[in-house]
Amino acid sequence: MSTAETVPSEVLIVVHVDSGWEELLPAIERVTRPGDHLYFLVATPTEQRTSASHADPSALAASRLAALLVRARGDGHAADGEVGETFVLDSVVDVLARRRVDTIAVVTPPLGLAGALHLDLAHRAERAFRLPSTHVVLPGAGWSGGLDLSIGAGLDAARERAARAPAAPPNSEGGTIPAPGTGGRPLRMSRRATLALGTIIALLVMSLAIALPWGFHETDVANARLLVRETAPRATYTVKVGAQTAAGDLNEFEAYYPATIQAHPGDALTFHNATETVAHTVTFGVAPDRANEPVLTAPVLSVVAPCASTGALTPASAACPGTPAAPPNGRTAPLPAFDGQAFYNSGVLAPGKDFTLQLSAHLKPGVYHYYCLLHNGQQGTIVVKPTGEATQLQRSVDAAAQRQLIRDLRTLGALQPPTSPPLSIRAGVAGPDVSLNQFFPANVQVHAGQTVTWDDTTPTPHALAFDESVPAATAIFSRPTAPSGSDYAGGPFVTGAIGALPYPRTSFSLRFTRPGTYAYVCSLHVGMAGTVTVVP
């Protein structure tokens, strides 16, 4: 084998399936070489192809990508990747603008009629990007998205690549020398290419009646200025709060996706809680070190209620500082637009719910930070730009959110179980923006009379509840049944929340006096459980 044949390649793998994932990696290994770098581009599924546990298509794609990277790296491959659009050829354009790619592998279900409707995605990639391409078929798989009409992206990409190539000088026979990177072919369309293009256009016209229910996809590859708004019409952006994976509450994401967004005065931001069980807030006026935030015990939970006030938050605040008078009808007054108030809070944003933050038309341009009152490390930023300056489109917001989520999934996957001293249990382990919610160790054995201590110094709170008769709602923010260090011989018992500020304590201890097996759970996180077995 020659030296050239053994040089590793950068292989872009375009994954456009919604099933058959267990067969994907073996299929890729059959068309790549050992040592090749694999870069996976996983198409975002359509809403119709998500499940109840993954209501967010982007989160589902990110979860699939994370699992794929774990398997690939576990098998010894150098692998990275990102989540792409449903119309995946547009995302290939973005990848090729940032990375050197030698070959493309397109993974699809068997073609048949579906292949015709997708306009021969694999061969379109080769024609559009002029790179060697391989079609990998997964039997039994289905398409991850609806009808893919991203034909414009490929044609625009080919034109732009041709425009960037050096001019082709005449050769000695009066013809042209092919431009570098074109595979030895002139950039002019051959008769065969013209016929192929005509066939594709004919298929596109024939598919219009089918395509109409799915709508058309606007590609802005050829005109980069479409990626920003050059004028300042009022817009509403969507920011996701938290995320959900198949592991449920055992994985927690304490972040706003994306963490930074641009807006104009008068715009609105809708914050969508993308989790199934975790509450959050959107709160302005919290110090970055949380020094002005009161400890969250039961009597001061009113601090997390909706509020817009010129009064500043302090550690002594027992409710919204400077709470305005209640309206005459006795109902809660709606929050006014955010105009830079000293304290402004959404109230508790429940799982699956939305909170719309209306920016005042008179809000001064600048940088505004906001926080979650329930999670110590959760922070977001709004950059308010003067009217007339460009911000971004929602698609750019979504792309930034996807990149951030992929980064957080990698952080979560890299978390290692901590080593705990004897008679000590760690309640969860956390990294930036993420938490692995388990007890380490989950099961311990002690002798009667020994004391067990649970520690949690992370931004993620936990609340222990012994005995199944304890209502979860009662256990979360209630005071401890007895002080830390008390004797315990069975029966209902709650510790209250433990964790870093704003929670009242970072550890809790119990002395077990009677032999037996004592099960407990975290009332904040479903599935987070442990046992203490006491022997004589």
Domain shared by 63 and 150, yes or no: yes
Do 31 and 167 sit in the same domain of this protein? Answer: yes
- Could you give the CA distance from residue 115 to residue 333 in angstroms, rounded to a whole number? 55
Q: What is the reported pLDDT for 139?
A: 81
Condensed to tens digits (0 to 9), the pLDDT of residues 141-169 reads 777 765 554 544 444 444 444 444 444 44
Identity of the amino acid at 423: L
Concatenate the DSSP letters of all residues of 59-76 into one string: HHHHHHHHHHHHHHHHTT
> Is the same domain home to 404 and 435?
no
Domain final residue, candidates 188, 214, 240 = 214
Judgement on whether residues 387 and 483 belong to the same structural domain of the protein: no
245 with 199, same domain? no
For 42, phi then psi, to 5°, come to -95, 120
Asked, for residue 292, whether it belongs to a domain, the answer is yes
- The alpha helices in 375-446, defined as continuous H runs, are 394-414
Tell me, yes or no, whether 58 and 97 share the same domain. Answer: yes
Residue 526 belongs to a domain? yes
CA pair distance 235, 416, nearest whole angstrom: 42
Inside any domain, residue 3: no
Q: Which residues of the chain have pLDDT under 70?
A: 1-6, 47-55, 111-123, 145-233, 323-333, 469-476
The answer to whether residue 347 sits within a structural domain is: yes
Residue 419 lies in a domain: no
Tell me which of 214, 248, 270 is where a domain ends.
214
| CA 529/CA 481 separation, integer angstroms | 19
Same domain for 331 and 403?
Answer: yes
235 and 208, same structural domain?
no
The whole domain housing 474 covers: 424-535
The candidate with the shortest Cα–Cα distance to 138, out of 28, 264, 292, 2, is 28
Q: Which of 185, 214, 243 is at the close of a domain?
A: 214
Q: Are 171 and 265 members of one domain?
A: no
Whether pTM > 0.85 for this model: the answer is no
- Residue 417, domain member (yes or no): no
State the pLDDT at residue 427.
94
The two three-digit tokens of residue 344, written as one number = 């402004």
Q: Are residues 60 and 144 in the same domain?
A: yes
Residue 476 burial by Cβ neighbours in a 10 Å radius (0-12, 13-18, 19+)? buried
Count CB-CB contacts under 10 A for residue 150: 24
Query: Do 125 and 189 belong together in one domain?
Result: yes
- For tokens 């919290």, the residue is 286
**CATH code where residue 192 lies:** 3.40.50.620
Identify whether residues 307 and 179 lie together within a single domain: no
Which whole-number Å values give the CA distances from 534 to 25, 151, 248, 376, 517, in the listed order? 47, 67, 30, 35, 6
**Any domain includes 225:** no
Domain count, the chain: 3
* CATH code of the domain in which 324 resides: 2.60.40.420
Quote the CA–CA distance of 253 and 240 in Å, as a whole number.
11
Residues in the chain: 536
How far apart (Å, rounded) are the C-alpha atoms in residues 63 and 70? Answer: 11
Of 335, 402, 481, 340, the residue nearest 60 (C-alpha): 402
Residue 2 maps to a domain: no
